[in-house]
A = this chain, B = another copy of it.
Amino acid sequence: MTSDEFDALFQRVCNWGRWGPDDQLGTLNYITRERMCNAARLVRKGRSVSLAIPINTVAGPDNPHPAFHYMVQAYDAPKGSGEPQFALDYLACEFHGDCHTHIDALCHIAYKGKLYNGKSASTYVTSKGPSTMDITAYANGIITRGVLLDIPRLRGVKWLEPGEAVTADELKDAEKSEGVQLGEGDALVFRTGHHRRRLELGSWDNTYDGEGKAGLAANAMLMLHERKVAAFLPDGDGETVPSNVEGVTYPVHALQICAMGMAACDSLQFEELARVCEEEKRWEFMVVAAPLRMPGGTGSLFNPLAIF
């Protein structure tokens, strides 16, 4: 895809102005009160599954910013003689990247100097933090129907290989195979098997300097736009690396976040989810996901849940 074709695609999926010039929610506006209630009705078995990777403190080719996690106080050394005694810990993390399960704020991505809704990136997001569209816009959480489209299941493979790009047609094939249809206000839970590959083969460099990663084809965004998907929860980060777009390293993020205002998440894992979907023979469930309420956050570590 040439740079011009990409810009045309950007225009086709662009939601700027759709919900007003000061909108903070983007595609979460698709989650009406009714849809939130419908999502809750999917809870019919009382099963819950975490979609988060355990926080990773070990540096590796895909974890250049391992989290710092330390005990502050343990029980080998009681603090004074009082009761009770406390154990405490501390966590520090630069969470963006390919190893920490997180959600992006709408201010996280700028394309050609513009944020979602056409706001000037350099005006609104400075060294003092963002003054619009930070992660607190999502403070009340993402609560909607989740639909798992499990591409390795469709293909009968363990995982997609780095560099493979999933098209809209393949998403539709997955819908058919699972008997589910992605609709307005839904969260697309998109499985490439990225995390399973990591569990079995170990971590790898998934940047442009390394092996890359499997993800969505850039023009699959048209389908997500037409279906009015509210949120995107991939393993990996949804990007195909290398991308097939000239001059745009991460086209999926540019389209989803900047053009569409979509709630985009990165680096989830669906290994247990895939098993539960198989057991329950359904690929739809209630999703509840809440970022930390961090003023000025460009995103947040979080632990999204699928509830059956």
Give A contacts to B, CB under 8 Å.
32-37, 39-50, 52-55, 58-60, 63-66, 68-77, 79, 82-96, 101, 107-113, 121-122, 124-130, 136, 139-141, 143, 247-250, 253-254, 258, 286, 288, 290-299, 301-305, 307
Give the most central of A74, A124, A141, A294: most B CB within 10 Å.
A74
A111 x B95 contact (CB < 8 A): no
Q: Give Cα distance in the complex from A34 to B44, angstroms.
A: 8
Distance in Å: Cβ of A214 to nearest Cβ of chain B: 20
Closest residue of chain B to A286 (Cβ to Cβ) is B40
Partner of A59, one of B64, B79, B128: B64
A35 x B40 contact (CB < 8 A): no
A293 x B37 contact (CB < 8 A): no
Contacts of A75 in B (CB 8 A): 110, 113, 121-122, 124-126
The quantity of this chain's copies bound in the complex is 4
A93 x B96 contact (CB < 8 A): no
A43 x B46 contact (CB < 8 A): no
B290 x A50 contact (CB < 8 A): yes
B63 x A59 contact (CB < 8 A): yes
A291 x B305 contact (CB < 8 A): no
Which 9 A-B residue pairings sit nearest by Cβ, starting from the closest? A33-B46, A127-B127, A40-B43, A77-B126, A92-B92, A76-B76, A36-B46, A59-B59, A75-B121
Contacts of A48 in B (CB 8 A): 36, 140-141, 143
Q: Give Cα distance in the complex from A258 to B53, angstroms.
A: 28
Partner of A65, one of B66, B107, B125: B66
Q: A41-B41, A48-B141 are in contact. List 12 more A-B contacts (CB 8 A).
A: A33-B46, A36-B46, A36-B47, A48-B140, A59-B60, A71-B71, A75-B121, A82-B247, A86-B110, A91-B93, A127-B127, A292-B303
Known: A59-B59, A72-B70, A76-B76. A84 touches B49 (CB 8 A): no
B303 x A139 contact (CB < 8 A): yes
Distance in Å: Cβ of A107 to nearest Cβ of chain B: 6
Q: Give Cα distance in the complex from A48 to B72, angstroms.
A: 34
Known: A40-B41, A50-B140, A140-B305. A128 touches B293 (CB 8 A): no
Q: Give Cα distance in the complex from A46 to B39, angstroms.
A: 9
Q: Give Cα distance in the complex from A290 to B54, angstroms.
A: 13
Give the most central of A44, A45, A121: most B CB within 10 Å.
A121
Contacts of A94 in B (CB 8 A): 68, 72, 88-90
List 12 A–B pairs whose Cβ atoms lie within 8 Å, in order of A's numbering: A37-B45, A48-B140, A50-B290, A52-B292, A59-B59, A72-B94, A82-B248, A84-B254, A87-B110, A89-B297, A101-B293, A288-B305
Known: A50-B139, A107-B87. A303 touches B286 (CB 8 A): no
Q: Give Cα distance in the complex from A59 to B97, angstroms.
A: 13
